[in-house]
Structure 1
Amino acid sequence: MRSSCIWIRILPLIIVITLPLILVTGTLQAQAPTGPTLPPDLASVVTDAYRMFNLTAVLKHIEYFASLGSRFTGYPGFYKAAEYIKNVWESYGLDVWTEEFEVTIPMSKGAEIVIELPNGTRITMRAYPLMPNYVNPCPYESPPEGDILIWGGNGYFEDFTGKPVNGSFVVMDFNCRWYWENALILGAKGVIFTTPSITTRIEAEWKALAIPYNFPRLYLSKGDSITIRKLLYRYKTLRAWIKSDMEWIRVKAYNIIAAYRPPEIVEPEIAVISAYYDAFSIVPELAPGASDAIGIAMLLELPKLFLKHPPKREIWFVAFAGHYQGLKGGREFIDRHFDDIASMGKRQGKLALFISLDLVSDNQDLAMYAIGNFYSYFYPESIRVKFASMISNIFYTFIPALESIIGRNIHIFDEVAQSYPPWYSTSPPYEPFIKFSEAEVFLEAAYGGGLTIITTNCLRMYRETPFDTFRNLNPENIKLQGEVLWPLLYYIVNMPITYDLRPFRYSADHGWIIAKLQLGIYNTTTRWYDNFTHPDAIVMFYQQPLAGAAGFMSAINLRAFLGFIEVIKPNPDGSLVVKGLKPMSNY
């Protein structure tokens, strides 16, 4: 009974306290602001855009691209991808055309290792050359007596104790960080890497030298890696004949453009939405580029949205080639369409907005930026201020409204004005690698109008490695990004363009320079240069950072921080042309 009395007394107390809490909470909710909203007709289209994102279709495109072996620019899979893109866009009834250009790439002509066992049996293994050391593709062929193979483990000095490293080829784990260079220090002729169970982009970055030293590095398949490990464990050393051939060649590449002209054009300017379709790997023959394919896969599906909901302006969907060759496709496109860029008083039918996509599946977080690492500027704020009105509208009107429509928080960062989320300044997104896109090329030429949307806060773990495969993608993160991008892109391309563009060839902080060069050799008699040419001549052209900007060079893909690098094989007469140089810069 005593217990019951206590319960009877406490229960009313609980009721009395709880009811006011409920009333107070209800009052607070009723007074909470609803946030920005969109006009009903636009809200309806945005809602449909969110629902129209088709993950299954996007994944189907990605799986196809990743199945082509290698989409490294100039390799067979690259051309199959180009044809596929063209066919898909033509099936929508879009106006599709291609723009051809030439680009210099390191073309692998194959590698082979023939191993002789003590009993005379020979085993042949296919190998894959790695990217050149700087500009040296490191061709090699064993002497008639062959070479010696030894096991080098992880490349630590103790792994070489008692082994004949000098003059031998060292077989070792790919995931050895930079310790493979110890084999070079000890006099090895080259290194043969075995396939790991998994690897990372950082490991790949460490597998090329930033000097043109002739030190062959080869990569074995998983099956051959297991075999050679077992053989070296048993025999300690093996005799082998190695042949590896890679050379710089000029190949044809294609930008693919699909134009959609809506029945009624309200806004006079043309908007470009783009992505690249080539891929990259430290092993050029093994560049599946599944994460590289996310952007172009989305771009292939995106026209369906605008066909159902016609935009206010003409849109060009552009698939770029040569992304990893110093944004070669982007520079060729801008050079060809320089006179088509909008300017003060000339906006009708001119290019005024240029958006690039560069996505991965490591994370769902998105970021929008204008100035990346391809060009540097003396006065970056003068560019950022051009986007002030647009950025404010996107992040403080549209994004909150979209969050209300889709019922979840959107993970997106404003890297243009660095204003969103409100806590951006205390916790900006993490970008471990340099970022660059074709939109930056437009920005350099027009001094505005170029925006890039990327996946941020991630390591891009498998990109630029043979492990960038379809099975290593995270479909859920692709879905979460796509559901935001569909309505976001629709909204952006329909916004009025209020900023001014200045497509100048030469200006104080931007421009578009074309350099026509000629190889020469000094003639001591005439005291001047004679034209020079050589079938193996290679020119590396790169921009040095502007004064006061620190920089570094990444050997893996031959690009520089705050400046681009392009490797060019000259014409037969020794001449060459470089497009898209920045005025008032050192090259």
Structure 2
Amino acid sequence: MMERSSYVKALIPITLLIWGMCFIGASAQSTSAYKELYEGIDATRIREAVEHLSSLGSRVCGYPGERKAAEWVKRKFEEIGLDELELLTVKDGKVGVEKVRELKFKVTTPIDKGASMELPGVGKSYKLYPMYPNLVRTPQLPPEGIEGRLIYAHSGKLSEFRKKDVKGSIVLLDFVTGSEWFNAPFLGASAVIFIEPEPKDMARWEAELKFLTTPIDIPRFWISRENALELLSLLHRNGEKPLVARLRCSMEWEEIEAKNIVGVIWGTDPGRKNQFIVLNAYYDSMSVVPSLAPGAEQANSIAILLELARLLKRMPLDRTVVFLATSGHCLGLRGVANFIRYWLDKEKEWQQVTAIEPNAQIPQLLAFIAIDISSRSPTFGVFYKAHFFDYTENIQWQFSDIGKFCREVAERIGFTFWFDAERYFVDGINPIKGKNWRTYLPGMLALESEVATVAGKTGIGFATVDDARPLVDTPHDLPTYVNFENVVRQARMLACMLYELINAPTSLLKLQLENNFSIVKGQLIWFDPEKSTTSVPDQPVKGAIACMRHTAVPKKTMMGVRTVLFDKVERLPLGKRTQIPYG
């Protein structure tokens, strides 16, 4: 008689064989596609894309690097062979076709026009970089600048100011001060200059403490470590003799034009080619020092999107896939909000199209899929929500099957390439083993797919888990610190998973969600005793900055995404309102 242990051992290979045969029989076509996609992801291309984007300079909206990035992404889309987006439109009562490669939108952003420190007594000048504004208050200085004694207060603790004449001074501080830097302005300092820290000491959560959510007038600047060491040497040689510094800075809010870049692979199935799947990544960046925002980690997703476009272009796809590269991600998801607004406006226009041509083929936005990959973990997950809107979890059940579907696909990918899928993929939709989506995100994350979901579309995001993104939103977010091996591993698995989602049953992706997308409109008016005709404010304000606080979560920034929206208001006649598209 066979012993129990021998019986179990005999069953194991039989079970594995049956399991394998099930996978092979059910997904022979998928396995072939997996190999083409998984092995086709080019690690060198991803690295080169991240390095190139990081070398362009700051990619904060409105800065030269962001404009260069937009043109580069557009050129890459054309080189890959992505078509322009063609959508039906109505003009003069006739149906026509609107071709789109880029969608322009307005966004208000703080522009660094230059800052410096002069030491008149020694004839030296140093480059400074203004910090991100305290709400609407930038480090802007009067045209003549400000002047004061330069002092060094190390960590900013009160004990460091002992026997120092702080009132009216310009205080040089270590960057890693926590909130102790507040002591300088509390004691009367005119300005604060932070010294660039050693790379090992830089952290996003430290950087986030260097700007406020109230419009307090505290000019704050960043100085390179090299220049700071020279300054400290001068201070040391000067001893008790005052070293006078003069600061100048021009940093103003400006309304600039940004672009979303669009490319298309048209579906080949007559019955499904009008079902559109949007694959999305952003190309802008952010830093607490806006003019120093290399955004290497923030370039991973757009690098992956370009690889996906290159590979999927070779494959016949049933549905139409729209590749959307957005700007304005870091300014409250403004770019994707403007794309969703554009699409919703087109849906209204298509009602006119069908009235003129009842048989017209109207596009349907079946799913909006956002990619947000970072490098300090090899594992990513699928999410139906993140922290920016933090909308009700009562809709989770509608996304549940998508999470299960992705989990099963992950298992097939793991089986095909001989690795444990659970190590590299998590289902952030369904609470597997009691873990909900928040468990996997060590910090607050904003996903562009959240805007689509708010607008009643099926929005899902793929994001790296267990990664606090410590260098994001800092000047040290450089390619040197990116773990490209982790990025490539995620990209390979993601490519296979997206292929399956693009070809998934319509019933899986077509959800019944409410459209809560809205546009905030308003006027900035004040009471002018000389012009107001009533006892209430009625005069438009020129050049004011309207700000809308995002109240779902009381957090000023989410891993580089600002949660307060700004809009510069020019002199508007009564009745005309400033507009902020938003969910």
Partner Cα separation in structure 2 for residue 216 and residue 141 of structure 1: 11
Check conservation: 1:277, 1:293, Cα contact below 8 A: yes
3-state SS of 1:297 partner: helix
How far off is 1:502 after superposition? 5.6
Q: 1:579 to 1:167 in 2, by over 3 A?
A: closer
3-state SS of 2:118 partner: strand
3-state SS of 2:243 partner: strand
Kindly name which structure, 1 or 2, has the bigger radius of gyration based on alpha carbons: 1
Q: Which residue of 1 aligns with 2:176?
A: 175
How far off is 1:176 after superposition? 1.5
Question: Are 1:281 and 2:295 an aligned pair?
Answer: no
Q: Which residue of 1 aligns with 2:420?
A: 409
The 5 A counterparts of 1:366-515 are: 366-377=380-391, 379-381=392-394, 383-395=395-407, 397-410=408-421, 411-419=424-432, 422=433, 424=435, 429-446=439-456, 448-498=457-507, 499-501=509-511, 510-515=515-520
The 5 A counterparts of 1:230-241 are: 230-236=233-239, 237-241=242-246
- 1:318-365 CA-to-partner distances (Å, cap 9, x unmatched) read 00010111111111111111155699x999521111001111111112
Partner Cα separation in structure 2 for residue 329 and residue 145 of structure 1: 37
- 1:381-423 CA-to-partner distances (Å, cap 9, x unmatched) read 2x2222222222221x21111110111123222222233xx46
Picking from 35, 42, 47, the partner of 1:47 is 35
Q: 1:515 to 1:554 in 2, by over 3 A?
A: closer
How far off is 1:85 after superposition? 0.5
Partner Cα separation in structure 1 for residue 169 and residue 13 of structure 2: 75
Check conservation: 2:450, 2:460, Cα contact below 8 A: yes
The 5 A counterparts of 1:145-544 are: 146-198=147-199, 199-236=202-239, 237-267=242-272, 268-340=274-346, 348-377=362-391, 379-381=392-394, 383-395=395-407, 397-410=408-421, 411-419=424-432, 422=433, 424=435, 429-446=439-456, 448-498=457-507, 499-501=509-511, 510-522=515-527, 525-535=533-543, 537-544=544-551
Q: Which residue of 2 aligns with 1:125?
A: 126
3-state SS of 2:495 partner: helix
How far off is 1:93 after superposition? 2.0
CA RMSD of aligned residues (A): 2.7
3-state SS of 1:309 partner: coil
Partner Cα separation in structure 1 for residue 4 and residue 105 of structure 2: 73
Q: 1:144 to 1:253 in 2, by over 3 A?
A: closer
- 1:510-550 CA-to-partner distances (Å, cap 9, x unmatched) read 42222332222247752444231223x111012433xxxx6
Question: Are 1:98 and 2:102 an aligned pair?
Answer: yes
How far off is 1:571 after superposition? 3.0
Name the TM-score, length of structure 2 as normaliser. 0.86
Percent sequence identity over aligned pairs: 29
3-state SS of 2:228 partner: helix
Check conservation: 1:269, 1:347, Cα contact below 8 A: no
Bigger shift: residues 326-335 or 25-34: 25-34
Q: Which residue of 1 aligns with 2:137?
A: 136
Question: Are 1:72 and 2:60 an aligned pair?
Answer: yes
Partner Cα separation in structure 2 for residue 272 and residue 68 of structure 1: 27
**Structure 2 residue identity aligned to 1:69:** G
Q: 1:143 to 1:531 in 2, by over 3 A?
A: closer
- 1:113-142 CA-to-partner distances (Å, cap 9, x unmatched) read 0114xxx43111010000001110021259
Partner Cα separation in structure 2 for residue 243 and residue 401 of structure 1: 60
5+ unaligned residues in a row in structure 2: which ranges?
A: 85-100, 355-359
How far off is 1:22 after superposition? 7.7
Partner Cα separation in structure 2 for residue 160 and residue 317 of structure 1: 55
**Structure 1 residue identity aligned to 2:418:** G
Partner Cα separation in structure 2 for residue 581 and residue 478 of structure 1: 31
How far off is 1:289 after superposition? 0.3
Partner Cα separation in structure 2 for residue 111 and residue 44 of structure 1: 57
Name the TM-score, length of structure 1 as normaliser. 0.86
**Structure 1 residue identity aligned to 2:414:** E
Partner Cα separation in structure 2 for residue 554 and residue 277 of structure 1: 18
Q: 1:476 to 1:193 in 2, by over 3 A?
A: same
Partner Cα separation in structure 1 for residue 332 and residue 218 of structure 2: 24
Partner Cα separation in structure 1 for residue 124 and residue 333 of structure 2: 42
Partner Cα separation in structure 2 for residue 555 and residue 414 of structure 1: 22
**Structure 2 residue identity aligned to 1:400:** E
**Structure 2 residue identity aligned to 1:364:** P
3-state SS of 2:277 partner: strand
Count how many residue pairs are aligned between Structure 1 and Structure 2: 540
